[in-house]
Structure 1
Amino acid sequence: MKVFFNQLFDYNFYCNKKIIEASTALDVVPQNSIALFSDILNMHHIYNERIAKREPKYTFGQLHEVSTWGDIHYENQRNSFDITSESEDFEKRIDYEDSKGELLIHTMQDMLFHIINESTHYRALIDMDFKANGLEPLRTNYITYKH
């Protein structure tokens, strides 16, 4: 399971880095793309912190300046690798409160996969936003990454 998640987080890191690089090179990043990528960063951070039983410093909906994306992304990645490297039980159940204060219980495996799956979904929305704004969409699907 460690190898599987490390491969998925490598993919996630690579694709997010492509968006960071493309956005940094733009004079103006579409506002919707800023919100979407901020959501990727926030969600990744929040789920890492939930797994680690720490209080998150970011919240859902919090916007980040494009210039900070790389540092936040790197920290998220490092924390996810720490989690996967140190875990012996990916079926471990983790209880946490969601953003509405509701108690939820999920396995670590489900929470880690949620980070990857939700990031993929938001990257697709960013691609659509880029295209709608006359920008070249980025190919960030898994099979393209594996080429």
Structure 2
Amino acid sequence: MTEYFKRLFSFNNWANKEILDCLIINNIEDEKIIRLMSHVAHAQGNWYKRIVNQQNDAMVWSVLSLEEIGRQLEQNGKHWLDYLNRLQEVDFRRSLHYRNLQGQPFTNDIQDILAHVVNHSTYHRGQIILSIRNAGYPPPLTDYIYYARLFPG
């Protein structure tokens, strides 16, 4: 399971960078797009801090500059891959107790949280890609299967 999630998080890092590069290259400053990309960066950081028992949630809808988004995504990507490298197979079924942004307590298995982090990012990247297209720019290809073709596992 470790290798599976490492591949998913490597894809996630690659896809986030593709989007960010598109925004920078095309000088896209659309507030909705930047807010969504900031949200992806904040949420990935929040989930990482939760999973390593250092929960200190950032406000997930606060807007970052493209430079700040890039730094946060790079840091998140490194943290997640380092974390996955430390996991043993039994850890994926371990439960994590945490609080959501409203302070409500929840418990989920590590594997479900990992799947959520990648799926959450993919969901919002889809929104961002639609907004990029609607703004008149060609969006990057960020489908998982495209990644798998570029980087066969």
Q: Quickly name the TM-score band, shorter chain normalised.
A: over 0.9
Give the whole-Å Cα distance in 2 for the aligned partners of 1:132 and 1:30: 11
* 1:53 and 2:53 correspond: yes
Over residues 34-85 of structure 1, what are the superposed CA-to-partner deviations in whole Å (9 max), with x where a residue is unaligned? 0111111011001101000113362211211011122111110111112211
Matched letter for residue 141 of structure 1 = D
5+ long unaligned stretches in structure 1: none
Matched, 1:86 2:89: no
* SS in structure 2 at match of 1:28: coil
Greater shift, 49-58 or 68-77, is seen at 49-58
2:98 is paired with a residue whose SS is strand
Paired residue for 2:34? 34
Per-residue deviation at 1:143? Answer: 0.7
Q: Which residue identity is paired with 1:51?
A: I
- Aligned-partner SS, 1:94: strand
1:96 aligns with 98
Provide Cα deviations, 1:99-140, integer angstroms capped at 9, x if missing partner.
011000001111111110010111110010011111112211
Distance, in Å, in 2 between the alignment partners of 1:28 and 1:43 is: 22
| Root mean square deviation, CA, Å | 1.1
- Which consecutive segments of 4 or more residues in structure 1 shift more than 3 A? none
TM-score (norm 1): 0.95
Q: Which residue of 2 aligns with 1:77?
A: 77
Aligned partners of 1:35 and 1:118: how far apart in 2? 15
| Alignment-derived partner of residue 139 in structure 1 | 141
SS in structure 1 at match of 2:92? coil
Letter in 1 for 2:119: N
Distance 1:69 1:48 in 2: 16
Indicate conservation of the 8 Å contact 1:40/1:122, yes or no: yes
User: What is the distance in 2 between the residues matched to 1:20 and 1:131?
Assistant: 14
